[in-house]
Structure 1
């Protein structure tokens, strides 16, 4: 494609505002008469609430409202409505919000919270995912059947801790295993981890007269907040206005709805004064959701030639105390749960299971980073058992044009090429698992062993058929443009990519195109949610549709002004001109709000383009077999890593990472590389150090960055290379497909495979901390 803007490394359109501090976040905002909110949270992981005494807190001067679950009696849930705004009758995890205060300042609010007295009766705690899965386990929710959920999509099992059971069946499993020369069965585990956005959750709410509610939130999706708020509290949507300004990172943790209803209720009980809540870092860790944990059991049958003939998988997802996005993670990991492999016979059961842990939600990769730890480690173990090169083994089994996925979708030439991604990675990393005698001697002398590992990945957007978005493009009086989409750019750079598309389509200098950053449900066009790596695709198509609408309006007026039919006209650099006679032209600014002739007559009017896009072609999946079309498009990729393991300490040093993704078509070279490197680094944290730890009573121990280890600059590899394969997505804007979540997926498995290659030690649990590796070496 010979494009002027699309495909180029255009600087971020929000870059200057962010680095200068001009960008305004919810935490920066202050309204007249504003109050400040604080939470009283549970000190137990599971306990009955016997009594709450708020009398002392209410009597404290400066306190305007104190709420418990009796006043905030509504339940929330995007797929399963199971979470009270404040705990009612019992608490289900350490850190759960039990009461809330609004006061004239933070100090008063904190003092009031300390005066609230709660009497608990401790209950048995269930933390182990296998124990929670058992029939006679302690129940986190005794009456699942009383909840509302999206029927025919999610399938909870009353009388158990199972919030959802997704089943997938393809082929004949017994027949497949009968053809296997080798059957290998393993168990793999990933713990819960944190999102760690730079900006913690923040909300301001004002409950006005006639139940008119205004909310400012650091959310990923203003329309999702409005929708879920309205459903939970029974408020018509036209009375709810949600504004999302700049957001300092989300990674899935700010999707859906969180404390917006609570803060709004505090405002209501404070006679309509605005109330602001900003989570402390400890509240961000203990009270807000994390990424689910996963226990995966994988049984695989292969022939001696290396062909996978059958696979049986059980995924047990540690949902924590509430379902939230967790049930959909279980579903999404179910329909893509064998990875990008062509396997005829599959049985997969994915269970989302309640425990007394912090509840899980969406997180970059939406379950795929977790289950690929199991799948890609299992592939490595099989290759080793067969005495086959792991690269060769994968290439024999990867999906290719003509293959069918486990849900029955046909892979064609335009689907994307995971095999090309893997070949490219293997070439650039210099993949070879055989060491020379010289290398072996050096390793023995130094105690530092080097290894290389590879892993593949895939993911499609996990979204319903109703996942729609829209766009508005308006021409200003001077011929410049502004466009609105209500999906949120919270760091991924999508608004810049959309601006490139607009400039390209309208043949206008990109300096004349402005993205409107503040998203507002009253003034902005509808968008479902900014999740699932869907925004570039759907918002991109909506923006291009809006461009077409705007161009049509421009041509309608210009054809009259220039006395030419529309197909004889073209656009260039802010002008409409006649193709045969380029000197006959009219500038955009003359058409923007209506063309005026010299005699005072006018035609046209303000130029406003509107566009829309929806996830077409998706289907519900069969309840018993999981067959159907769940994915709008699939993005494939691969990683290769080279590491060095110090056997005297167990430390892993990442020497080099090479990654490749088939993104259809690159829209912005600079931003997509930054996006990829950011995801890779986030994956490294999961692989090497990050984990939530609880004591035997379910109390969360890792509540700050002293105990919860995220990577620092000194932990990063010196060499990171990112490459892109471009197999155009036919229904994507300029052929593009999403790549926001994918760089994080399979980083853990590539490193685990490299450790195996380096020292011959097989690890089945992450993070790969120095002590875990050391113990495995010296076991």
Structure 2
């Protein structure tokens, strides 16, 4: 029986729905201390003086720290971040001091007693302004920061990375095109709003061992960053991440963990806990970066796009350690899933005095595709051709060439396009409602994404067999709600040919579960899955080595099937796998083998860096996941309200490990993209967040969820486990532009900015009527 491609029930479901799953905020330990943070009220200010004496004198306060105590910077890609502000505060809400006390109430009171004197500095509140030569420098020492060699900050500017892509000759191509268009778009900051806010506990033992419990997507990456920041040897730093209540990228890097470690070190043996409020979550965890996009496109009347020239300017916020990688990812994907012979892209990551930008589901792809896919519709209109046909003409086929010069070996672009056209009934005009003030429209959009990860972004796995023939699978591919625990068990079950219920999974403990680079980039099923498959094959090989002794047969004559070692020619000769769990014991007292353990490691052996000057490379990505969304909307022209009636999704998943969890991922992606398209925006004024609660920051509710149709195609990924490639993030990418294109189809107004609010609709309709009356 195959365990791949079947709708297996999630293994964590019962624990989560009954409340048995343990999250960090559930952790209560003896003699626990509670931390709280003093934060800057200014977007940019020099710290002149911090007086902590009153806080230190408050009964119940154990320790007070400031940034001057811990000046070493850290960061996974660009070491630009301090956990407590050093010298200057670079955004409203940045931590400048922290306390720990016997109770949360005392900690809150102590923070209010800390006195900070500031000198307010000119702030950079727009990324385009931040690029100007006379802009205030947020990181004047940028040229001294340690940075990964694939990123290129521009010294003495606010540009922390400039990614360049140069394919062909765009200017010559533009001159030969029938039509050339130019369009600009803006995508604002949004928040991840995971169900569980950030929480962490740190404990410093007397032998120098530091243990951190955190709501963390990537325990090993966080361990590395914290080790660097505090000069803690890796064998003395343990990071544990239990179940995580949603991440979407917000919990990929370090946030509050670096605040509590110094407090724990000052209070040996006593755990220190810090939990963000929802307001803290909006301001002090990562936000999705804002983006200014400009696209110039050259197209012929036959629908062939010959050239595209793009500029992306990313608002990276006060620290851009993750932002530089998003900027790179956006740059190399800037042509979209299209075969365009001439491409020129400049993608800039810019420091501003806004909250810290970081990874968000899609890793820049949702932002750039809001521009790319509306631009496709606009250039289609310019030549009088249906947008679906323009996509069909230019979409990447097997053997096509990406913007970076990579040959696409596998592509389900056209199959996905056909499926979404069918599911949204694209060729049939919408049935308009009887209410004359309501109009309907349809739109489609494509999207693609690859994992933005280095070659050494390795995965490893261990599987061990128990005496009764059950198994413990150990991985650090983190379960953050996406269903990876279930999918990885199914991969192990398929490889071992045993029932998935016989396998239990352990994850998220750097002292006990093996190395995993990060749970990001839609890479867990692919990378961790490959490592697990190899570990299971290693275990099978060791079992067969023993089985040939026990059965008196050649290894080539044996196979593992249905929980047994079976002789291929004589199926009645079989032995339960459990008999090999501890090796073999012989009548004379001797033995061979020992406990049955399989080990697997995987890395991206074929990934190659792109050229810095041209952005070109033969194989910069492990794989590309491509697909489509379709949307049907209804717009009320009296109120401006947009109701999404239907959304459909079709992606090339390579091979779907679990159709049930795939469907859940796709449905969640469409609803999440609906939220960014119509509701979500982090409203900033002078660096201050004006809507840092669910009262003012709106996300979709059950009432907003449309009819959802999920399909997929399967063109196997040659390097993936059983042909699978990652899908969790790509599924969200085309949703917002599909909705925007549907709104245009309904009312004939193009929105270059998200979210598209009722006020925006009414204003645009009024302006349209005024222009038509002229």
TM-score by shorter chain over 0.5 = yes
Once the two structures are superposed, what CA deviation does each residue of 1:113-166 show, in whole Å capped at 9, x if it has no partner?
Answer: 111111111112221221112111122222211211112x11111121101000
Alpha-carbon distance between aligned partners in 2 of 1:722 and 1:616, rounded to the nearest angstrom: 33
Residue 408 of structure 2 is aligned to residue 417 of structure 1 = no
Counterpart position of 2:520:
531
Aligned residue among 741, 750, 765 for 1:762 = 750
Alpha-carbon distance between aligned partners in 1 of 2:496 and 2:317, rounded to the nearest angstrom: 49
Counterpart position of 1:9:
7
Counterpart position of 1:634:
624
Alpha-carbon distance between aligned partners in 2 of 1:402 and 1:599, rounded to the nearest angstrom: 63
Aligned residue among 698, 701, 706 for 2:687 = 698
The alpha carbon displacement at 1:433 in A equals 7.2
Once the two structures are superposed, what CA deviation does each residue of 1:47-89 show, in whole Å capped at 9, x if it has no partner?
Answer: 1111111101000111111011111222121111111110111
Aligned residue among 579, 593, 617 for 2:568 = 579
Alpha-carbon distance between aligned partners in 2 of 1:446 and 1:496, rounded to the nearest angstrom: 49
Alpha-carbon distance between aligned partners in 2 of 1:603 and 1:574, rounded to the nearest angstrom: 21
Alpha-carbon distance between aligned partners in 2 of 1:74 and 1:708, rounded to the nearest angstrom: 35
Aligned residue among 286, 292, 297 for 2:289 = 292
Alpha-carbon distance between aligned partners in 1 of 2:8 and 2:594, rounded to the nearest angstrom: 32
Q: Secondary structure at the match of 1:100?
A: strand
Given that 2:335 and 2:402 are in contact with CA atoms closer than 8 Å, whether structure 1 keeps it comes out as no
Given that 1:475 and 1:608 are in contact with CA atoms closer than 8 Å, whether structure 2 keeps it comes out as yes
Counterpart position of 1:125:
123
Counterpart position of 2:738:
750
TM-score (norm 1): 0.97
Gaps of 5+ in 1: none
Residue 373 of structure 2 is aligned to residue 384 of structure 1 = no
Once the two structures are superposed, what CA deviation does each residue of 1:365-407 show, in whole Å capped at 9, x if it has no partner?
Answer: 0000000000001110111111111111111111112211111
Q: Secondary structure at the match of 1:508?
A: coil
Alpha-carbon distance between aligned partners in 2 of 1:712 and 1:471, rounded to the nearest angstrom: 38
The alpha carbon displacement at 1:211 in A equals 2.7
Residue 492 of structure 2 is aligned to residue 502 of structure 1 = yes
Once the two structures are superposed, what CA deviation does each residue of 1:297-343 show, in whole Å capped at 9, x if it has no partner?
Answer: 01111112111111110000000111121000000000011100111
Counterpart position of 1:654:
644
Aligned residue among 530, 539, 560 for 1:550 = 539
Given that 1:200 and 1:278 are in contact with CA atoms closer than 8 Å, whether structure 2 keeps it comes out as yes
Alpha-carbon distance between aligned partners in 2 of 1:535 and 1:193, rounded to the nearest angstrom: 25
Residue 613 of structure 2 is aligned to residue 644 of structure 1 = no
**1:458-477 matches, cutoff 5 A:** 458-477=448-467
Answer with 497-506 or 332-341: which moved more.
Answer: 497-506
Answer with 266-275 or 366-375: which moved more.
Answer: 266-275
The alpha carbon displacement at 1:5 in A equals 1.1
Alpha-carbon distance between aligned partners in 1 of 2:493 and 2:687, rounded to the nearest angstrom: 54
Given that 1:172 and 1:345 are in contact with CA atoms closer than 8 Å, whether structure 2 keeps it comes out as yes
Counterpart position of 1:40:
38
The alpha carbon displacement at 1:601 in A equals 4.0
Alpha-carbon distance between aligned partners in 2 of 1:690 and 1:659, rounded to the nearest angstrom: 21
Alpha-carbon distance between aligned partners in 1 of 2:268 and 2:49, rounded to the nearest angstrom: 26
Q: Secondary structure at the match of 1:490?
A: coil
Aligned residue among 374, 397, 400 for 2:397 = 400
Aligned residue among 392, 417, 421 for 1:426 = 421
Q: Secondary structure at the match of 1:520?
A: coil
The alpha carbon displacement at 1:598 in A equals 5.0
**1:156-555 matches, cutoff 5 A:** 156-412=153-409, 415-432=410-427, 446-517=436-507, 519-555=508-544
The alpha carbon displacement at 1:472 in A equals 0.2
Alpha-carbon distance between aligned partners in 2 of 1:167 and 1:547, rounded to the nearest angstrom: 42
Q: Secondary structure at the match of 2:55?
A: helix
Counterpart position of 1:739:
727
Alpha-carbon distance between aligned partners in 2 of 1:467 and 1:482, rounded to the nearest angstrom: 24
Answer with 227-236 or 478-487: which moved more.
Answer: 227-236
Alpha-carbon distance between aligned partners in 2 of 1:343 and 1:12, rounded to the nearest angstrom: 41
Given that 1:432 and 1:452 are in contact with CA atoms closer than 8 Å, whether structure 2 keeps it comes out as no
Gaps of 5+ in 2: 768-774
The alpha carbon displacement at 1:292 in A equals 0.3
Once the two structures are superposed, what CA deviation does each residue of 1:214-256 show, in whole Å capped at 9, x if it has no partner?
Answer: 1111111111111111122222111111111111111111012
Q: Secondary structure at the match of 1:374?
A: helix
Once the two structures are superposed, what CA deviation does each residue of 1:758-777 show, in whole Å capped at 9, x if it has no partner?
Answer: 11011100001111111111
Answer with 124-133 or 9-18: which moved more.
Answer: 124-133
Q: Secondary structure at the match of 2:512?
A: coil
Counterpart position of 1:135:
133
The alpha carbon displacement at 1:213 in A equals 1.0
Alpha-carbon distance between aligned partners in 1 of 2:755 and 2:135, rounded to the nearest angstrom: 28
Once the two structures are superposed, what CA deviation does each residue of 1:456-499 show, in whole Å capped at 9, x if it has no partner?
Answer: 01100000011100000000111111101111011111111111
The alpha carbon displacement at 1:522 in A equals 1.4
Number of residue equivalences: 766
The alpha carbon displacement at 1:749 in A equals 0.6
Q: Secondary structure at the match of 2:688?
A: coil
Alpha-carbon distance between aligned partners in 1 of 2:211 and 2:692, rounded to the nearest angstrom: 32
Alpha-carbon distance between aligned partners in 2 of 1:304 and 1:603, rounded to the nearest angstrom: 74
Q: Secondary structure at the match of 1:331?
A: helix
Q: Secondary structure at the match of 1:557?
A: helix
Counterpart position of 2:90:
92
Structure 1's 577 and 401: CA in aligned 2 closer, same or farther, altered over 3 A? closer
Answer with 487-496 or 255-264: which moved more.
Answer: 255-264
**1:549-568 matches, cutoff 5 A:** 549-568=538-557
Q: Secondary structure at the match of 1:81?
A: coil
Q: Secondary structure at the match of 2:112?
A: helix
Given that 2:477 and 2:484 are in contact with CA atoms closer than 8 Å, whether structure 1 keeps it comes out as no
Given that 1:74 and 1:85 are in contact with CA atoms closer than 8 Å, whether structure 2 keeps it comes out as no
The alpha carbon displacement at 1:417 in A equals 1.4
Q: Secondary structure at the match of 1:402?
A: coil
Alpha-carbon distance between aligned partners in 2 of 1:101 and 1:330, rounded to the nearest angstrom: 36
Alpha-carbon distance between aligned partners in 1 of 2:592 and 2:607, rounded to the nearest angstrom: 43
